[in-house]
Amino acid sequence: MDERLRAVEAQIRTTSAYQRAAELLESEERLEAQLRDIERELETLAAAAQLARIDRLRKALTNSDRIFAQMG
């Protein structure tokens, strides 16, 4: 049985379907790695966007403080 199974496996490995499946698996791995890279980049961009919002609010507060100081 074990010998027959190995023979069937070897035969399958020579088929174009096996080659295509192996290529698709490699492609899937590359795409998953690219997706992880994109997710990390999106997380970085989200953090940068939040910091930019905070900076904009701080600037607005500073400007409003100056306006009120000039009025008072």
Evaluate if residue 72 carries a pLDDT over 70: no
Give tens-digit pLDDT for 21-34: 999 999 999 999 99
Q: pLDDT grade, residue 63 (50/70/90)?
A: confident
Query: What is the CA 42 to chain-centroid distance, rounded?
Result: 7
pLDDT > 90 in the chain, percent: 83
Give tens-digit pLDDT for 29-50: 999 999 999 999 999 999 999 9
Tokens in use for 4? Answer: 């027959």
Q: Is the pTM of this model over 0.85?
A: no
The answer to whether residues 12 and 18 touch, using CB atoms and an 8 Å cutoff, is yes
Kindly provide the residue ranges of all beta strands, DSSP E only, lying in the chain, ordered along the sequence: none
Domain boundaries, the chain: 2-71
Residues 6+ apart with CB under 8 A from 18: 12
Q: How far apart are the C-alpha atoms of 46 and 58, rounded to whole Å?
A: 18
